[in-house]
Amino acid sequence: MAFDREDAKLAAGLLVAALAALAGYNAVRARRAIAARAYGRVMEIGGLRLHFIEAGSGMPLLLLHGNGSMAEDFKWSGIFDEAAKTYRVLAFDRPGFGRSSRSRRRWSAGDQADLIHAAVNRLGIEKYLVLGHSWGAWIALELARRHSPSVAGIVLVSGYYYPPPRLDLALAALPALPVIGTVFRHTLLPLLVRHAWPWAMGKIFQPAAIAGDFAALAKDVASRPSQLRAVCFESASMLGAALSRKASYRDIAVPTGILAGAGDRLFDAERDARRLHAEICGSLLEVIPDTGHMVHQSAPQAVVGMLHAIAGRHAMSERPRRRRLEPCAEEFEAGPASQRFQAGDK
């Protein structure tokens, strides 16, 4: 039987109906995922809604998550609560992630650094530490470069500082395209992300064990169409964002700690970390064995240990003393890095 024009219209109508139903289903899941996160604070700034969670007192500490994640990433790792014993901790949903909105502008690492700096200034914060993971490490570097007088120190975890050409980053831009990309993000892509979630968790955590809290709690928020749009734009811009720094970070002049997982399967994080360590004079470096990209989840005590070390360096720099030259290469060891915080400590 021939496939005539009426059959084609029927097939097209069924396809549109199926996509509409799938988009509606994804929208319901997205609303439920966000409704479950109705806590923290929301600030209107720069034309955006900027969501953050806050706890503790002391020196302000800004926590900046990586691409595809959210502020709770640091809660689930235990770092947020542990750091709140010493610092005033503010963990942000970056633009387009979690409960924060994102306009259609480019939102480079520098743009986000300016936004975060303006937000904390509005809160009356003049001096702060920054801890950034993955894409958040770029923003930490930009804060140190653009707002150096306000930055007491930075801790960089699993950053992608010296990018080689990668086809996967260009392909990641496809769902961000107008019309076709929009339809894909609202229909099939959330389903594919949820289906591939176990594989993705293995990719970012291995060779360390997958953190159950993150794997279970992040999926529905991370697979929302609006968040996937931000993921696609940031994945596509990774190469350009790093190249815009001209692969040099010698102008970073604040206390800096660098951590990387020796087993990172997304890129050669150890190589990048050692190169960055050589460029930033006086920086501290720790490479965590048997750990992948999610160092802050797999080895939170190492991250907090580095944070305390950088805070200590800032405190020393504030004291009147005779000037001395800092070494330009120094290894750091916080202790048993693979040990997670005990349940009672979280």
Residue 158 CA to residue 133 CA, distance in Å, equals 6
Could you give the 3-state DSSP secondary structure of residue 343? Answer: helix
Residue 211 counted as domain residue: yes
Q: pLDDT by residue (tens digit) across 152-172? A: 999 999 998 887 666 666 666
Is 21 contained in some domain?
no
The answer to the question of residue 207 being in a domain is yes
Q: 167-202: per-residue pLDDT in tens?
A: 666 666 666 666 676 777 777 777 888 888 899 999
> Do 107 and 214 contact (CB within 8 A), yes or no?
no
Structural domain span for residue 305: 34-345
Asked if pLDDT for residue 128 goes beyond 60, the answer is yes
CATH for 107: 3.40.50.1820
| In-domain check, residue 22 | no
- Whether 243 has a pLDDT exceeding 80, the answer reads no
Q: Is residue 19 part of a domain?
A: no
The confidence band for 241, taking pLDDT boundaries of 50, 70 and 90, is: low
The residue-averaged pLDDT of 41-59 equals 94
pLDDT digits (tens, 9 = 90+) for 264-303: 998 899 999 999 999 999 999 999 999 999 999 999 999 9
How many percent of the chain have pLDDT more than 90? 51
Given a cut of 60, whether residue 324 has pLDDT beyond it is: no
Handedness of CA 331, 332, 336, 342 (dihedral sign): negative
